[in-house]
């Protein structure tokens, strides 16, 4: 088995590099078995301590989520809801599901169907230690679940994660949001309702839209567009 460890890199960069290699292999159709085995064999403590800040955690887990959705959909032939809730892959010795990554780690152990307002009261101790310190709403414009309404898959880099998430959010909102100035209505993607607390509620959503679209929506009504679950696997950003 080839080694994917690079001792010239800091622990954050080593793990993030590995997640990027997995995603690249998925995109190019190369075998992923060796990379998956390396990720699985990392000790839980090394994973927790190696991802030592939120930027490293976001970068690593976004790449992992986007890679494993494609793997589970194409190789394992999983579909909703099993593709999200089945513990189907191992990272750092932990058997995980996509929901563990999204709602446990990236969304800081939030209950999936609570609009983001309720935390899990007894989260798994390792998930709790891996979780982001602060929820970043921009992850919702970076996670790809193989649906037509999803943002395209990008390769996230530790040194550029901030600018990449800004670009992903700007690009998605610019293309997806529909503004009706006559009726004073702004229509946004349904996930902003599903995870409303992540965006700061209605007021927060309007402030986010103003930030990225350069328009004051204070007196606009928010409507949520239906989510298109039609399959769109392999939708990579240019």
The mean per-residue pLDDT over the stretch 199-215 comes to 98
Position 156 scores a pLDDT of 97
The mean per-residue pLDDT over the stretch 78-87 comes to 98
Checking if the pLDDT of 3 tops 50, the result is no
Cα(20)–Cα(6) distance, integer angstroms: 13
Main-chain dihedrals φ then ψ at residue 98, nearest 5 degrees? -60, -35
Report the percent of the chain where pLDDT is more than 90: 92
Position 196 scores a pLDDT of 97
End-to-end CA distance of the chain: give it in Å, rounded. 32
Cα(78)–Cα(86) distance, integer angstroms: 9
Strand stretches in the chain, DSSP E: 89-91, 94-96, 178-180, 185-189, 221-225
* Residue 1: pLDDT band with limits 50, 70, 90: very low
Checking if the pLDDT of 195 tops 70, the result is yes
Mean pLDDT of the chain: 94
pTM surpassing 0.85? yes
Cα(231)–Cα(238) distance, integer angstroms: 19
pLDDT digit string (tens) for 90-138? 999 999 999 999 999 999 999 999 999 999 989 999 999 999 999 999 9
Residue ranges covered by each domain of the chain: 11-132, 168-225
Phi-psi region of 79 (alpha: psi -120 to 50; beta: other; left: phi over 0): beta
Handedness of CA 8, 10, 15, 20 (dihedral sign): negative
Position 121 scores a pLDDT of 87
* Residue 15: pLDDT band with limits 50, 70, 90: very high
- What strands lie across the sheet with 185-189, from one edge to the other? 178-180, 185-189, 221-225
Cβ neighbours around 176 below 10 Å, total: 15
Q: Residue 74, Cα to own-chain centre: how many angstroms?
A: 19
């Amino acid at each position: 088995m080839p080694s994917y460890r690079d001792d010239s890199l800091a622990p954050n960069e080593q793990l993030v590099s590995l997640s990027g290699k997995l995603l690249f292999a998925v995109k190019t159709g190369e075998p992923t078995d060796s990379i998956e085995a390396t990720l699985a064999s990392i000790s839980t403590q090394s994973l927790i301590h190696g991802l030592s800040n939120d930027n490293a955690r976001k970068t690593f887990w976004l790449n992992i989520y986007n890679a494993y959705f494609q793997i589970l959909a194409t190789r394992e032939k999983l579909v909703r809801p099993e593709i999200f809730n089945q513990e189907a892959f191992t990272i750092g010795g932990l058997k995980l599901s996509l929901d563990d990554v999204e709602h446990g780690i990236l969304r800081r152990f939030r209950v999936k169907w609570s609009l983001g307002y309720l935390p899990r009261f007894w989260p798994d101790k390792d998930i709790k230690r891996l979780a982001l310190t602060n929820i970043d709403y921009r992850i919702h414009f970076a996670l790809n679940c193989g649906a037509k309404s999803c943002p395209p898959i990008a390769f996230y880099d530790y040194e550029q994660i901030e600018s990449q998430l800004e670009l992903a959010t700007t690009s998605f909102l610019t293309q997806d949001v529909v503004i009706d100035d006559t009726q004073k209505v702004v229509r946004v993607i349904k996930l902003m309702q599903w995870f409303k607390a992540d965006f700061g509620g209605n007021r927060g959503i309007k402030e986010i839209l103003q930030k990225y679209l350069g328009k004051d929506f204070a007196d606009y009504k928010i409507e949520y567009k239906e989510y298109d679950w039609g399959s769109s696997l392999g939708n990579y950003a240019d």
